[in-house]
Amino acid sequence: MYIDLKELKTITLLYVEDDEMTKIQTVSVFEKIFKNIYTASNGEEGLELFKEHKDSIDAIIADLNLPKMTGLKMAEKIHKISQSIPIIFTTAYTDEDILLKAISLNIDSYITKPIKIKDLTESILKYVKIYREKQNLYDTTKALASEMKTTRKDYDQLKDKLDFLEKKIDFYRFLSEQFIAYIKLDNFGIIQNISSEFINIYKYDKADLVGRPISTISNNSSNIQRMMLEVLKKKEAIGFEERFITKDKEELIFHNIIYPLYENENNYASGYIIYQSLQR
């Protein structure tokens, strides 16, 4: 296996060993290879060091047979804090029950004593790479989830605003429908819709006028058609006064404001709406 020395220099280890001579000898080599080494002499101390430095530790090397807390018990507690941190055991014996227990705890590897630094280094590098890939994936997923959460929050806020605006528009539409007289025309001056207030003033039913030309209620439809062309040229509302005829043949003078309607994507007017205010 190719060993990337530069990558080894980015790795921080927690090394737990109760044999002082073994620990001194191993650490003297580790310090030349790895970025940083935290050392402990028993399982309890190893657990506390991991809790204190868990954000910087990339892998744990521990003896199976530790005082105060065994290596297995320490690994079990550490995995409750970080399930994916690599743990490699060093052991002077190969007790099958202990090794099976280590496997059940998802221990990454074990190295028999006396330790061969090359074998141990290869194992550390292998499992740290896997651990970092998992962490990168986790961090990326977490960031995306956070971004999605933020986006969702922004979306919900925008939706609330939109709902409010839609309610506001519905309210204004209700007001205009109930209290403002208007006529909606198509491009040819055919009546498409009329408001409730229009009906109150003109005394027509909607069915009497929808689908009929504007000339049905005006003796000067040519002037209205001229206003339709004029509003298209200016692309803005135009005000004008004109006489209109009610169902009872009464002629009333209205101040009118005509708007072009753009209800499609081709930028062509799809019709017109005329708002009317009765001149007293």
CATH class of 180-278: alpha beta
Q: What average pLDDT score do residues 130-156 get?
A: 62
Question: How far, in Å, CA of 13 to CA of 33, rounded?
Answer: 11
Q: Residue 280 corresponds to which amino acid? A: R
94-140 pLDDT, tens digit each: 555 555 555 555 565 667 777 777 877 888 888 788 777 776 665 66
Give me the pLDDT at residue 247, please.
93
Task: Give the distance from CA 233 to its chain's centroid.
Answer: 44
For the chain, domain boundaries:
5-141, 180-278
Cβ atoms of 51 and 79 closer than 8 Å: no
- Among the listed ranges 18-22, 26-30, 231-235, which one has the minimum average pLDDT value? 231-235
221-259 pLDDT, tens digit each: 899 999 988 888 777 788 899 999 999 999 999 999 998
Q: Which fold has domain 5-141?
A: Rossmann fold (3.40.50)
Q: Which residues contact 220 (CB under 8 A, 6 or more apart)?
A: 242, 243
Q: What average pLDDT score do residues 193-211 get?
A: 90
Q: Can you spell out the DSSP letters for 216-258?
A: GS-S-HHHHHHHHHHHHHHTS-EEEEEEEE-TT--EEEEEEEE
Q: What average pLDDT score do residues 23-37 get?
A: 89
Q: Beta strands of 128-229 (E only): which ranges? A: 181-185, 191-194
Q: Is the pTM of this model over 0.75?
A: no
Question: How far, in Å, CA of 253 to CA of 162, rounded?
Answer: 39
Burial per residue of 55-66, b for 16 or more beta-carbon CB atoms within 10 angstroms, e otherwise? eebbbbbbbbbb
Q: In the numeric block, which tokens belong to residue 249? A: 């043949």
For residue 151, pLDDT beyond 60: no
Mean pLDDT rounded to a whole number for the chain: 80
Q: In the numeric block, which tokens belong to residue 269? A: 């007017």
Classified as helix, coil or strand, 54 is: coil
Q: In the numeric block, which tokens belong to residue 154? A: 């922004």
Residue 218 CA: distances (Å) to CA of 3, 83, 213, 252, 253: 93, 83, 9, 10, 11
Give me the pLDDT at residue 236, please.
78
31-72 pLDDT, tens digit each: 888 899 999 999 999 999 999 998 899 889 988 888 999 888
Cβ atoms of 145 and 162 closer than 8 Å: no
Dihedral pair phi/psi, residue 8, rounded to 5°: -60, -35
Question: How far, in Å, CA of 246 to CA of 135, rounded?
Answer: 78
Give me the pLDDT at residue 37, please.
93
Give me the pLDDT at residue 165, please.
61
Identical fold between 5-141 and 180-278: no
Cβ atoms of 52 and 44 closer than 8 Å: no
Give me the pLDDT at residue 233, please.
79
